Each structure stands twice: as structure tokens, then as C-alpha cells.
């Protein structure tokens, strides 16, 4: 599993790869949190997220939007996500900690998850994602 930032004129575009769809969603969440808060994140608390959507791209966008919402509203910084997908239903156990001003500053504020340019593809090497985070 890995992600990297791709060139984009105004926002942040990432590419992520993983062997399974669940791992891809988890890696996308990791990318979002790392862009926002850096690498110094710990898993002290857990919360559950449940999302339903009609297709893979919508499920991913809704999941990441919920992660962004919970991060901002609940003041949580997530280290990782244990994601389980069954059809159009996603259940995730999110591992993280409360925001710490001394450790979690200096990242980039993400305002939203864009459907524009989003693609989830699969080949013999696994799943690949391209997604844009609105900043």
C-alpha cells in the first residue's frame, strides 16, 4: 500500500495503490490525514463510521467526507482505518487521537473531497485510486 502526491494546479491530487478495495480506502484515509496533520499521529481512541452509497466512487467520497467531518467536528486526527465493505455498505473502525496543537499543525487544510477526476481502477496488481482533495 502506498500513496503519492501528483501535480495539480490548485488542489492536492493523490494516487494510491493497494491489493484490496478495503486497503485502498484505508490508504486514501491515511493520505487525507497525513496531508492535513503530518505523520505524527497515534492510535489512542477508536470510533465507528458507517456509510452507504450506490457505487465505489460515491462510497469512497462519502467515506472520506465523513472522515473529514469527524476530524473537524470531533477534533480527531486518525492514524488508520480498519475498513470492511460489503456491497454498498462500508463499516470502518477509525483509530486516532484528539487534535494536539503542538504535533498536528503545519499541514494543509482540506475543505472537501472532489468527484472531479476521481477514478478507482483494478488490474492484476490490485486497486489504484486517483482523487483530488479541495484545499
Q: Which CATH number fits domain 2-134: 3.40.50.12160, 3.30.930.10, 3.55.10.10, 3.30.1280.10?
A: 3.55.10.10
- 105-130 pLDDT tens trace: 889 999 999 999 899 999 999 999 99
Residue pair 29/41 in contact (Cβ under 8 Å)? The answer is no
Sequence ranges of the domains in the chain: 2-134
- 51-102 pLDDT tens trace: 999 999 999 999 999 999 999 999 999 999 999 999 999 999 999 999 999 9
Question: Nearest 10 degrees: CA dihedral of 11, 100, 2, 111?
Answer: -20
pLDDT at 1: 54
pLDDT at 35: 95
Which residues contact residue 76 at a Cβ distance below 8 angstroms, ignoring those fewer than 6 apart?
Answer: 45, 47, 70, 94, 96, 97, 98, 99
DSSP state of 101: T
Helix, strand, or coil (residue 109): coil
- Band (pLDDT 50/70/90 cuts) for residue 41 is very high
The alpha helices in 3-135, defined as continuous H runs, are 21-37, 56-74
Q: Which three cell numbers stand for residue 86?
A: 460489503
Amino acid at each position: 500500500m502506498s500513496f503519492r502526491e501528483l501535480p495539480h494546479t490548485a488542489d492536492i491530487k493523490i494516487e494510491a495503490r493497494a491489493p484490496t478495495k478495503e486497503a485502498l480506502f484505508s490508504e486514501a484515509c491515511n493520505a487525507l490525514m497525513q496531508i492535513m496533520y503530518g505523520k505524527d499521529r497515534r492510535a489512542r481512541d477508536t470510533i465507528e463510521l458507517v456509510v452507504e452509497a450506490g457505487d465505489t466512487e460515491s462510497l469512497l467520497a462519502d467515506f472520506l467526507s465523513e472522515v473529514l467531518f469527524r476530524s473537524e467536528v470531533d477534533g480527531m486526527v486518525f492514524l488508520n482505518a480498519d475498513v470492511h465493505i460489503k456491497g454498498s455498505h462500508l463499516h470502518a473502525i477509525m483509530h486516532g487521537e484528539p487534535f494536539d496543537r503542538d504535533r498536528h499543525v503545519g499541514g494543509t487544510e482540506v475543505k472537501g473531497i472532489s468527484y472531479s477526476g476521481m477514478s478507482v481502477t483494478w488490474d492484476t496488481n490490485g486497486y489504484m485510486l486517483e482523487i483530488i482533495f479541495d484545499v
